Amino acid sequence: MIVAVLSGKGGVGKSMLTSGLSMLFSKTKKVIAVDCDVDAPNLHLWLGEDEKWDEVEKISVFEKPVIDKDLCVNCGKCVDICAFNALKLEKEGPVLNRFFCEGCGACEFICPVKAITLEEVMNAEIRVKKDVHGFPLVSAQLYPGESGSGKVVDQIRKKAESINHEIMILDAPAGIGCPVIAAVNGIDFAILITEPTPSGFSDIKRALTVVNHFKIPYGVVINKWDMNTDGSENIESWAKDRLLGKISYDKEIFRTIANLKPVMETNLPARYEIEQIYKKLNDVFFKQRL
């Protein structure tokens, strides 16, 4: 069983909910938690963990061009074909702006003297904590300025699949781009979490287009519902029987996480609200599968 928590928008509570559900499911099942937000991973913080990892593996999911100045005839064809303006023609030959390069390989293909070759770049690392509240956590970090976050998500999912589990819970990235698609492709259930704001409601609908494309069953959670009760009621009417529950706003949550204490180890209202969401997931949606 693979479950993903997504929203289409950042800052609406994905990692908080993922951490809580991971801890609750781990009481009865073999769980593995996966942080798919490789640009800004923070699930380990919500689980009360620091930056010490049991395993760190550098990986390459990206290639960038290397130009042999001895072979280059300075024709400029590589510069002309680059759709990302990553190459600029100087007196000494083409110069690469590595931050603009997408590794498409057009420059290598067009070069008439084969002066350009694509070479692998170590652009990310996969990180594993073997025992977080009794279950493993798989995360990754894309290095600053590097590209290929969707491919990195593919790699961490493969890593997670190699570890024995009954339930995999994915903390999906924000948005609806490549890393989100890589996170939700092939999952069994999606939990769409939102907040009662115009942007939150708009973005959950955008995320739903991805979920519906892959024909994934889903439920809806409203976070910070009490900050805008009218907006919350509007989302509840839209979600109908797919509503899994609501989580109230509480400043103490931020103080708790700043001290690396999981919400599920507090007596805050959010803890009991997440427990109710977990109960409904079990009773209504997962009963036939688990």
Specify whether 216 is located in the same domain as 77: no
How many structural domains does the chain have?
2
Does the residue 107 lie in any domain? yes
Between strands 87-90 and 93-96, the pairing is: antiparallel
Q: How far apart are CA 286 and CA 290, in angstroms?
A: 6
Among the candidates 106, 121, 136, a domain finishes at 121
How much is the pLDDT for 290?
Answer: 44
pLDDT of residue 285: 63
pLDDT > 90: percent of the chain: 89
- What mean pLDDT comes out for the span 173-195? 94
pLDDT tens column, 19-32: 999 999 999 999 99
Same domain, 68 and 110: yes
* CATH classification at residue 152: 3.40.50.300
The identity of residue 176, as a single letter, is: I
Residues 91 and 137 in one domain: no
Say what the pLDDT of residue 98 is. 87
Residue 244 lies in a domain: yes
* C-alpha span between 117 and 65 (Å, rounded): 5
Q: What is the mean pLDDT of residues 136-161?
A: 93
Mean pLDDT of the chain: 93
Exposure class string for 146-158: b at 16+ Cβ within 10 A, else e: bbbbbbbbbbbbe
Q: How far is CA 124 from CA 34, 57, 98, 288, in A?
A: 16, 9, 15, 38
Whether 164 and 223 share a structural domain: yes
Instruction: Express each pLDDT in 265-283 by its tens digit.
Output: 999 999 999 999 999 998 8
257 assigned to some structural domain: yes
Query: How confident is the model at residue 94, as a pLDDT?
Result: 94
Last residue of a domain, one of 72, 88, 121: 121
Q: Are residues 185 and 212 in the same domain?
A: yes
Residue 290 forms part of a structural domain: no
Expressed as residue numbers, the domain containing 104 is 62-121
User: In a 10 Å sphere around its CB, with 0-12 CB exposed, 13-18 middle and 19+ buried, how is residue 200 labelled?
Assistant: buried
pLDDT tens per residue, range 204-253: 999 999 999 999 999 999 999 999 999 999 999 999 999 999 999 999 99
Q: Convert 241-278 to b/e letters by CB count within 10 Å (16 or more is b).
A: eebbbbbebbeebeebbeeeebbbeeebbbbebbeebb
With 0.85 as the threshold, say if the pTM is over it.
Answer: yes
147: pLDDT confidence band, cut at 50, 70 and 90?
confident
Q: Is residue 262 part of a domain?
A: yes
- Alpha-carbon Rg for the chain in angstroms: 22
